[in-house]
Copies of this chain bind each other. A is one copy, B any other.
């Protein structure tokens, strides 16, 4: 199996390798079976790795750990109690300074909700989401223009070197996580204003264009991410100006330069899906120039909805929303 895998890996196109990189957990870790479902109020909302489980074992009054799953103590009733009990554990762990992800504490809460109806169960600091493999939702904006001689051109941003995650890396034009209390379009509008000074009539041109889903893993944790995607055609004379100190610089690149940037180690891996999806929708990456086109499209839309479906079935391609 290992050899077959290496043989295939060598024959993948560079773009396919990138799509497999941002799905490294979907393609391997998920099937190793060493992570346990994380259950809250009877719903699987996440997956927990052994390195995190080790710490949770010390809080048996909060986390019930069995051979098959980790459950938030079902005696906790309601959003507030769950949120506060989990926050206490996270604060205790944060003080010990042993968990890499918690070093990036954000003071910005993300919501944990039931898989299908999105009933809110609790909230936790954004930095802790990846420890529990909670599904993460964000918004990304592709800022682009069609240049008379260079064709499709795309604005990219370089993240500030002071950011908690992926400092200094190249990223999409504008993006942000969906924090508690904010809507999807609302987040796109807020981030476009803060990150790139897109305001007024220009922001009305945001076009919702789908979403991408992938399942990445890093040293910090698990990232089952869904990004809601917006396209924004910008005037030739527009130059983005950062307003919140989170951006180092902006650069306008041709589509080909964008691909080279995305393939380089200077690009934030988890932003590559949004860029690839955009270049596919605009026809720049197409069945005539990419041999694994449909494999890449599949890897931009992995069935996250179906993966968190314990206890109904094992991690199969169930996808029927029975979760």
Contacts and interface: CB of A to CB of B under 8 A. Distances in A.
Nearest to A11: B117
Given A4-B322, A8-B322, A283-B208, A305 B294 contact: yes
Contacts of A28: 320
A281 interface: yes
Q: Pick the most buried of A27, A213, A287: most chain B CB atoms within 10 A of its CB.
A: A287
Interface of A: 1, 4-5, 8, 11-12, 20, 23, 26-28, 30-31, 116-117, 183-185, 207-211, 213, 226, 228, 277, 280-283, 286-288, 293-295, 297-307, 312-322
A280 to B, nearest CB: 5
A31 B298 contact: no
Q: Determine chain A's interface SS by DSSP, over half rule.
A: mixed
A209 B283 CA distance: 5
Contacts of A20: 320
Q: Pick the most buried of A315, A317, A318: most chain B CB atoms within 10 A of its CB.
A: A317
5 contacts: A208-B287, A209-B282, A294-B305, A301-B301, A302-B319
A228 B28 CA distance: 28
B298 A300 contact: no
B317 A210 contact: no
Closest 5 CB pairs of A and B: A301-B301, A208-B286, A27-B320, A207-B283, A184-B287
B305 A298 contact: yes
B8 A281 contact: no
Contacts of A293: 211
A206 to B, nearest CB: 8
Given A185-B287, A228-B287, A317-B317, 18 more contacts: A1-B312, A5-B322, A8-B321, A12-B321, A183-B288, A185-B286, A208-B283, A208-B288, A209-B281, A210-B297, A211-B294, A211-B297, A295-B305, A298-B301, A303-B303, A303-B317, A306-B317, A316-B317
A304 B298 contact: yes
A12 B301 CA distance: 21
A8 B116 contact: yes
Nearest to A318: B31
A295 B323 CA distance: 12
A300 B301 contact: yes
A208 B282 CA distance: 7
Contacts of A31: 313, 316, 318
A182 B313 CA distance: 41
Contacts of A312: 1
